[in-house]
Structure 1
Amino acid sequence: MSNTQTSRDSSAQLHHTLPQPLAVSATGLTFTLDDGRVILDAISGGAAVNCLGNGNRELVEVMTAQAEKMAFAYHQSLGNLESEKLAKLLTDRSNGVLQAAAFLNSGSEAMEAAIKLAREYWVEMDQPLRNHIISRSPSYHGNTLGVLGIGNIPSRRTIYQPFFSSNIHHVTSPQYLRHHLPNETEEEYSQRLADELESTILSLDPRYVIGFVAEPVVGAALGVMPPPKGYFPAIKRVLDKYGLLLILDEVMSGSGRSGELYAYQAVGEGVKPDILAMAKGIGSGYVPISAVLAGQRVTERIRKSGGWKNSHTYQNHPINCAVALKVLQIIERDNLLTNVKQRGEQLLDELKDATRDIEIVYNVRGKGLFVGIDLVGSSSLKPRLAPRIKTKAFENGLLVLAISGTIDGVEGEVIMLGPAYTVTQEQISEIVKLLVRSIREVVEDLDKEG
């Protein structure tokens, strides 16, 4: 048995699926395995997290210095300067849209906190009967019970169905290319989905609705899906008509991943959120950290009521906040968002050109360094198509993310890419070369299988 693949029985860990190959070190965009192989990382550690790559000495030094100065202070007993400075940077960069922030440990925690904050807002507005919330299907917003219920991915959700509230409702996730009507423009399609949202709100009675939850660029649920033109303006008009909250999940698409610090700045067409959650790239994988941010409307009401009722032991952790602050400072200092945009355009262009003659490639799409390769493959294929390509890519020295069920929660196959913001022009071309080679080899294997 290879050292890089521990068996389920010999591992002392409880694994998500099977034990994975063992990485023993990493630098920049490469991982070294315990058998000496070097893997090029095209997905920032596996899930669009490690936006500055591994081995960043500045982040290690900040982490060490903060641990020596003050490792921990419980937020209900003592504040800390690092969380204050991080909150100030994030709110400043929103140009007044977001006015307060708090810091948790994962995207799931941040989204859970965002939903609780939305409910608290309405209770403090003396409207406690507002207890219905609307999300989209397919969608994914985290793995804790609250936000797992708000999302709608059967493979993640079904066994926990008895725990979910009947006050969670779903409307259609935007997939213009697959689902638009003949001659229907993107703007017309967007308006049709906004009309569906309005019908759902009216069926529930607007007086009982909290708001609407969405990812600006959909990540794992649809396999990187930017919104069609006019989508968020159309949605926001409906929400404003009934005074409802817009809650944005930027856990995967934010922190610069889509080319702007906030994903809504990249794709929202001027729409402003009331509540926003972010995670993953904000700590670049060096620390577990997430954020929930509130706009003026919510911030003023919560402060007037006496304070936010959410509390976790590691909330506003000083080491995590110090590292995240440095991550954002490096992104700004090194002008990395320009690189995100330029290398993202290069990645899309080279992938589209290189896959033009591959029949199983349905679509290549993305925003910034957040790209999905949509594939034609049936759920009846075992193993499924996207995991086959991920496995083949790894054999060829490339780490990617495979997602199945991206059309309706069951059908649909996508390979997701999201390299670090420091990726070079040469590395982008190497990623494309290795991935396209892997796709072609899987096609050949399928032809042999008949």
Structure 2
Amino acid sequence: MGSYEENLDTYLYQCVTGGPQAATAKSAEGLYFTLEDGQKVMDATGGAAVSAIGHGNKTVREAIIRQLDTVTYAHPGYFSNAPARELADWLVASTGGQMSRACILGSGSEAVEAALKLAYQYFAELTPQSPRINFISRRGSWHGCTIGALSVGDIKSRTTLFEPLLLKNVSKVSPCHPWRDMRKGETEEAYVARLKQELEDEFQRLGPETVCAFIVEPMVGTALGCVVALPGYLRAMKEVCDRHGALIIFDEIMCGLGRTGAQHAWMHDGVVPDIQTVGKVLGGGYAAISAMLVNDRVIRGLQEGNGSFIHAQTYQAQPLTCAAALATQQYIQANNLVENARCMGEYLGKELQQHLMDHPLVGDVRGRGLFWAVELTQDKITKAPWDPRLNLAKRIRSRGLEKGYDICIFSATGAADGWNGDQFLLAPPYIVQKQDVDEIVTRVVKVMNSVWEDIEPIVSGR
């Protein structure tokens, strides 16, 4: 019988030295990868919540081939192209006309960078030498890995090293995270009011006339683990921004385009942003593509100035990626897959909560649509995270990829305070059926039980 520290040292050695190199995917079809050694692995995460229609979709593949036979690249500074125009029109229409323009870009990080630049340019066009240079974001958020996006994000393990490079005109307020941050006896309404006052106080601290925009994920993904904003929260945040003339940016790179069971995550609350970013599901894994959606207020501001957004990228509105994204979105629409994401998401959540809420590793199971997370804690009451040296989230992901478990699980850390805390996400493709959800839950539970068998003697000191 050894001490906790002795057992932990041995366990860490086994974890660090015993992990295999990343396997090579040979092919993929539907919900499954086939690896070079013949192992079939179930994709329960869509990568990073990307593969909304599964792998090997013939409709999208044929659309890509058709575009290959016409034009694959046309610089937007010289030419427009039909796939880009059609995709932009489709995106605007998907908002019910609430947004009026779409700018087609590359990665999600690029879309966030563009959103920050556009927000600043909007005010600069209206008032030359505008004092509005400050951005407010939230702790426990993630917006991308380029410098601007990294500056407004808050995953400590990804930002700390680069702090000397980050923007100095960004400040952060609390997220809407009722499971961790609501006080004892506090109602949801009182909690939302407290967060609204915190944002108001930050405006006042900075000087309301200096705030350019507040950027928020309507549903937080990686950083906190699928945290859904309480009813009334987004409206309260927008009221503060509107009162002071600032813009509100919704980052829906991870949670948008049907992932939450609504076409856009903001539709659950009926709160329309000034600027919105989308990605991941946009290309569905068939193209590296994102977009920025803009409402009339911002467009009118640009029209009063020089009439254009000062921004350009080499692969902006590339015909081939636009054709792939358009085919992906049309497939989702034609097959009513957003509704399927809502229905199957409700079932997935119920099954996860039934089978995992009482698990000794688990603190909380939460989510919406086909976007669910399991946060791991030592104690469900205190919500204390597990010792980070146990490396639980990565251990779960690695175990899932072993033969006999055969499932992709998206691991993440920092849910407790930015550094500490383990969580994992499940974001299966929208094509899942009830039997697929059952199989996902069965495999996840098997992984969790196996990892608990590993660490239970360690944490109990046996």
Distance 2:299 2:95 in 1: 14
Deviation at 1:357, TM superposition (A): 2.5
User: Which structure 2 residues correspond to residues 131-280 of structure 1 after superposition, within 5 A?
Assistant: 131-266=133-268, 269-280=269-280
Deviation at 1:163, TM superposition (A): 1.1
Cα-to-partner distance string for 1:103-139 (whole Å, 9 max, x where unaligned) = 1111000011010000010100115211000000011
Cα-to-partner distance string for 1:363-420 (whole Å, 9 max, x where unaligned) = 1111100001111154634241111111222221010101110122112211100000
Distance 1:229 1:21 in 2: 43
Deviation at 1:19, TM superposition (A): 5.2
CA contact (8 A) 1:186 1:230 kept: no
Q: Which ranges of structure 1 fall in alignment gaps of 5 or more residues? A: 1-16
CA contact (8 A) 1:255 1:282 kept: yes
Distance 1:89 1:228 in 2: 29
> Displaced runs of 4+ in structure 1, greater than 4 A?
none
2:380 is the alignment partner of 1:371: no
User: Which structure 2 residues correspond to residues 358-437 of structure 1 after superposition, within 5 A?
Assistant: 358-376=359-377, 378=385, 380-395=387-402, 396-437=405-446
In the other structure, the counterpart of 2:81 is: 80
- Indicate the SS of the match to 2:179: helix
Q: TM-score, normalised by structure 1?
A: 0.93
AA of the residue aligned to 1:75? P
Cα-to-partner distance string for 1:75-96 (whole Å, 9 max, x where unaligned) = 0110111111111111112122
In the other structure, the counterpart of 2:115 is: 114
- Indicate the SS of the match to 1:98: coil
CA contact (8 A) 1:274 1:298 kept: yes
Q: Percent identity?
A: 38
CA contact (8 A) 1:111 1:249 kept: yes
In the other structure, the counterpart of 1:97 is: 98
Distance 1:226 1:192 in 2: 17
Cα-to-partner distance string for 1:209-265 (whole Å, 9 max, x where unaligned) = 101000011011101111122211111111111111010100000011111121111
In the other structure, the counterpart of 1:333 is: 334
2:155 is the alignment partner of 1:130: no
Q: Which ranges of structure 2 fall in alignment gaps of 5 or more residues? A: 1-18, 379-384
Deviation at 1:168, TM superposition (A): 0.6
User: Which structure 2 residues correspond to residues 40-59 of structure 1 after superposition, within 5 A?
Assistant: 40-44=42-46, 46-59=47-60
In the other structure, the counterpart of 2:286 is: 286
Deviation at 1:181, TM superposition (A): 1.2
In the other structure, the counterpart of 1:7 is: none
Distance 1:107 1:356 in 2: 33
Q: 1:381 to 1:171 in 2, by over 3 A?
A: closer
In the other structure, the counterpart of 2:61 is: 60
- Indicate the SS of the match to 1:101: strand
- Indicate the SS of the match to 1:429: helix
Number of residue pairs the alignment of both structures matches:
431
User: Which structure 2 residues correspond to residues 22-33 of structure 1 after superposition, within 5 A?
Assistant: 22-33=24-35
CA contact (8 A) 1:137 1:408 kept: no
In the other structure, the counterpart of 2:381 is: none
RMSD: 1.4
2:364 is the alignment partner of 1:355: no
In the other structure, the counterpart of 1:71 is: 72
Deviation at 1:303, TM superposition (A): 3.2
Cα-to-partner distance string for 1:44-80 (whole Å, 9 max, x where unaligned) = 1x20101111111111111111121111100011011
Distance 1:150 1:275 in 2: 15
CA contact (8 A) 2:147 2:167 kept: no
